[in-house]
Amino acid sequence: MSVLFIKINNFMCNNSFFFFMNEQKELLLQNGQFKTAVSYSCTLNSFFNFRRGKDLGIEEVTSELIQSYQSWLKQRGVVANTSSFYMRVLRAVYNKAVKKNLTVQQRPFEEVYTGIDKTQKRALTIEALRLLRNLDLSHKKKLAYARDLFMFSFYTRGMAFVDMAHLCKENIKEGTITYHRKKTGQKLVIGLESCMAEIIERYSSFTKDSDYVLPILHSDNPRNIQVQYYNALRYQNIQLKKIEKLLDIPHLHLTTYVPRHAWASIARENGVSLSVISEGMGHTSEKTTRIYLASLSQFETYGLCITSYTEVIRASEHLLRGMKSLSKLLV
């Protein structure tokens, strides 16, 4: 069942914390705040598991309990930023309960970490991408699908997952993909290469009755689309974690953001001009791209050492003048 629709029934406590949190999540859904609702659901599920399904009153949310929850998360390998995320969500719910006079303020979150550690932007090398692309997933269809979405994003110059999800068949005409970035509204045009077309064709049976290019979304209802998108994003990142373990590359960290970092880094390494990278990524200015590339260069690049490359392949006819495709570097 979708994480967004898990219902918690049979509350045993008066002034139930779980009931109140679930109620707040439903209000968020009604108000169209889907992303925040997903955050509440994920946190609720985690805290519910910590409690082993045992309900508690809002007044029972104490500093000792929250510290115990933080320790429980750490024992299960949950990273500090994720733990902090859960704490911030629980704190927001708790403070809403205090505001509604459902409990007195005990400040139960003062002794746990609620900050945000700066994360490193790291890009995959060509060698690591080759290993990913060539990984035998013939008997793991779900992982193969996640890998295909990852590679499609890389091939399309780091197309964001949200833009891939909303990419429609009408966006592909005469050998080009034309779409507007959800984040900025900027129009981008990409030459449709064989590596992209192969992935699209692989899932065409799942999209034959759909307007979408990829089988990520399946509804015309705005609320359902938002729910499907956030669940699909979460699921994709879970599957990428499984692929990480199969690749067994030191310090490898695959997420839906990594293809974008990889494309920019590899383009830079292969002499693609700043102006072309900037336009290719849909940045509004070269300054933004310069800052972005600097943030990549400050940190270690994932994977194996980059070998010398022969050439960046043929110009993509329908793209920016001088734009080079990077897909055949994986050959």
Task: Quote the tokens at residue 321.
Answer: 């003048």
Judge whether 240 and 146 are in contact, CB under 8 Å: yes
Which residues lie closer than 8 Å to 249 by C-beta, 6 or more apart?
Answer: 128, 131, 302, 303, 304
Do the beta carbons of residue 196 and residue 152 sit within 8 Å?
yes
Q: In the predicted model, what is the mean pLDDT of residues 180-209?
A: 93
**Strand boundaries in the chain, DSSP class E:** 172-173, 176-180, 187-191
Q: Would you place residue 309 in the very low, low, confident or very high pLDDT band (cuts 50, 70, 90)?
A: very low
- Please tell me which residue, 111 or 79, carries the higher pLDDT value: 111
Please report which confidence band the pLDDT of residue 297 belongs to, taking 50, 70 and 90 as the band edges.
low
Between 309 and 87, the higher pLDDT residue:
87
Is a pLDDT exceeding 50 seen at residue 25? yes
pTM of the entire predicted model: 0.68
Residue 243 CA to residue 144 CA, distance in Å, equals 9
Arithmetic mean of pLDDT, 309-329: 37
Out of 106-120, 122-136, 298-312, 314-328, least confident range: 298-312
Q: Which domains does the chain have, with CATH numbers?
A: 3-99 (1.10.150), 126-161+216-330 (1.10.443)
Q: How confident is the model at residue 322 (pLDDT cuts 50, 70, 90)?
A: very low
Residues sharing a CB contact under 8 Å with residue 151, sequence separation 6 or more, in sequence order? 132, 133, 195, 199, 259
Q: Taking residues 198-222, report their average pLDDT.
A: 92
| Rounded Cα distance, 73 and 42, in Å | 13
- What pLDDT, in 10s, does the model give residues 98-144? 999 999 999 999 999 999 887 665 667 788 889 999 999 999 999 99
Average pLDDT, the chain: 83
Q: Which of 222, 223, 218 is nearest to 206 (CA)?
A: 218
The pLDDT assigned to 316 comes to 29
